[in-house]
Amino acid sequence: MILKDLFSNLAILVAALFLYTQVTNNNPLNQSSALKNKIAVGLLSGIFSNILMQYSLDFNNTLVDLRQIPIILAAYYGGSVPAVIGLLLVIAGRFLIGLSTSSFINFILMTLITISTLIITKFNLSKKIKIIIVLTTSNILVTLSLSYLLQDYEVLLYLIPVYWVISYLAGFISFYVVEYERSSQKLLHRYKVEAATDGLTGLNNVRKFDQIFNKIARQAEHNKETLSLLFIDIDHFKSINDTYGHKEGDKVLMELSNILKNNVHSADIVSRNGGEEFTVILTNCPVENAKQISEKIRQKVERHPFLLTTGEHIHITVSIGVACYNETTSRARQLIHEADEALYKAKQTGRNKVCIAENLLKV
C-alpha cells in the first residue's frame, strides 16, 4: 500500500512536470527570469505540492507524500521568490487540511527544506552533487519529522527505506525531466534559428525571406498598405573573390550586411538571398521613400572602405532594383519579379545605380 501510494505521487509529479515544461518552453525558469515568471512558477509549485498532498499516505493525520519536490525544483532553478511563494501555499494547504501537531511540523519541515535548498544551490559544486545533497538533506529532514510524529518503529522500519528510495527516484526523475525537456527545447530553438538564418552574415536566409515576404504581402493586399522591396547586388563580386580570395569575399559580405542593417529602420527586414544578393522589405513605405533609402544605401556602400583581413581597404558598388505594391504593381506578390527586373536593368545600364520597377525610372 505504501509503495503503491508513493508511486502514485511520483506519477502525478512527472506528469505535472512534463506539462509544465511544455507550457513554459519559451520562458524557462532561471535565476534571471522576470519577476512575474518567478511568481507564476511559485504559484504552480505550490499548487503541484497541494495536489500531491491530496494523494498522501495518512498515518493518524500524518501525511506522507512528495510535496517537497516541486518546492525544491522552484528553489533550485528560480531562487528565493518562487520557492517562498510555493512554500507559503503548501503550508497554507496543509493547515487547511487540519490543524494538528503534524501540520505545525510540516511548517517547520518545509521551511527547513526550502532554506537548505536555497543555501546548497549557492555552493560551488557540480549540478549532480548539488542535487544529491539537496535530496539527501530533504530525506533526512523528512525522516526526523516522521520519527517524531509516528513513533511506531515497526512502521518506520518499513516506511523510511521505501520513502528514501521513492524520494530519490522522484527527485532524480524530476530533475532529469526538466533538464531533458529544456535541452531538447534549446536544441529545437537553435535548429529553428539556424534553418532561418544565413550562417555567414546572421541575416535572414532565403527560406526565411520567402516566409516573411509571403505573410507581409498578404497583409499588405488585405489592408491596402504600401509595401516596397529592394533587390541589392554587389557589382563585379566575382572579381573580388578571384582577386582576393573567398575569405576576403566573405568579409565584404559581412561588412555589407552591417551597412544594410544600419541604414534601414528596425522594422524593415534585411535578408541575404544567396551569393552576393540581398533584399530589404520596407513596410508602409511608398516608392519615393524607397528610392531615397536605396540611394542612401548605394552612396554609403560606394564611400565605405571595406577592410580585408590583410589590412588592405577596397571599395565596392552595388546595384539596386526597387518595386512598390500599389505604385509600381497592383499585386504584392509580383514585387519579387519586378524588383528583380529592375535590378537587372540597373546592371545592364552601367551598375552602381538604383532603378525603379515597371517604368524603370533611373534615380
Q: Which residues does the annotation mark as catalytic?
A: 276
- Strand locations in the chain (E): 57-59, 62-64, 227-234, 269-274, 277-283, 306-307, 313-314, 318-325, 354-356
Pull the grid cell for residue 165: 528510495
Contact 302, 352 (CB under 8 A): yes
Laid out side by side, the sheet with 354-356 consists of 269-274, 277-283, 227-234, 318-325, 354-356
CB 22 within 8 A of CB 59: no
Q: Which residues pair with 283 in a beta bridge?
A: 227
The span from the CA of 166 to the CA of 159, in Å, is 10
- The DSSP code for 308 is P
Do residues 50 and 73 touch, judged by C-beta distance below 8 A? no
The CA-based angle 37-40-44, given to 5 degrees, is 135
